[in-house]
Structure 1
Amino acid sequence: MDAARHQLSTDSTAFNDVVKLANVAKILIRKIPGISVLDLSAFPGFSNMDPLRVTIGVWQLGLSGFQVNEILDNDLGIIPELVSTNSMTLAFSQGTTGEHVQRLVSGLKHLSEKFSAVNCGNAVTGKARPYDVPLMSLNPREAFFASKTRMKFKDCSGEVCGESLCPYPPGIPVLVPGEVITEKALDYLQQIKGHGGYIVGAADPQLDYIVVCKTSH
């Protein structure tokens, strides 16, 4: 970020071309059936958003962001910066070219043509976040040194988590050591796993069990 700030301080037009390219990509993508593009209208009160990040919604195709990521990566070499249950975010940079945009748009058109009719009425409707405010029963240090045991995933609600459960992508922990496990968090983890995401940090990557702290709470 410091390097980008310095570059802009010496050349205020350094990113003009790639911003225009990102805007062209948004215009073209909005024309594709079943694909949406996040814009400023979704954030009342915000004056601006990063013009070099393009977030694409794919839930109307009946696909998760993870599934779209796998298809675009394997077939076209397009790698998003961030993937979620129903969207993906692409980062544009000075290395982005018109050919890259054409490849992205062509790939999304192909997905639209292939899946719009097949998955009509089966839109992915997963929630974007697993909880509102996390409740900590122990601080991370206390949880680290606490006695632990494994408990079946379906029985963990209300227990104190003893490990970090971090879906990848996007790589943001859903549960951390010391946090009280909620039904919302468990549902979200199942949703991520069901849509092709990976759970990093779990002693059992299959999530049949979760490590919990042996403590009264």
Structure 2
Amino acid sequence: MDAKLISKKELLDATGISYGQLYRWKRKQLIPEEWFIRKSAFTGQETFFPRELILSRIHKILNMKDDLSLDELADKLAGPMNDVELSKKQLIRRGILSNSVVQRWIVPGGDERVYAFGELLYFYAADTLLRTGKVGLKDAERLLALLREHYPGCKDQACDLIVMSRSGALSFGLISANAEIRFDEEVKVTARVAMTGLIEQLTGKLA
């Protein structure tokens, strides 16, 4: 089984929640529909989840459910912080982006410019891949261009960002989170990152 996924049974055992709680939270939209992934297993069709995302989300729900109603929780977990606007000084002070990203892309905007959540997400995605060493600054420029042009079309579904290498040259793409993708032997997928995971991480840093 894919190490990035966790089965429903494993999830319930690991968190101590019940089947009823899990699906009640789904109905209340505390857990996104697209995180319920149906896959073939030796016992037939089973439900799996993105391991890190679901464990983080359930931890948050368990920590907050005694203080908030499920409807209030749903509002709090409802996705990107659309009203967020941060200046360069705030980004630097809070350490949300690495110095290399700030110096290359934030500084030219000047001290007075503010950055909304959507723009910060693109920088954060580039920063995340730069930190792995699998992407250089010049390639990150093309990554940012891809996200600005095509990610708005993914807002109604969960998308993964993929990094592909062929003969040493990198390419980038966005695909549905549940989609399986296969290439010929000359193409290697060097990274696959869930955009929903980046949104969760960035939201946590901004909270």
TM-score, normalised on structure 2? 0.28
**Greater helix share, structure number:** 2
Larger radius of gyration: 1
When you count strand as a share of all residues, which structure comes out higher?
2
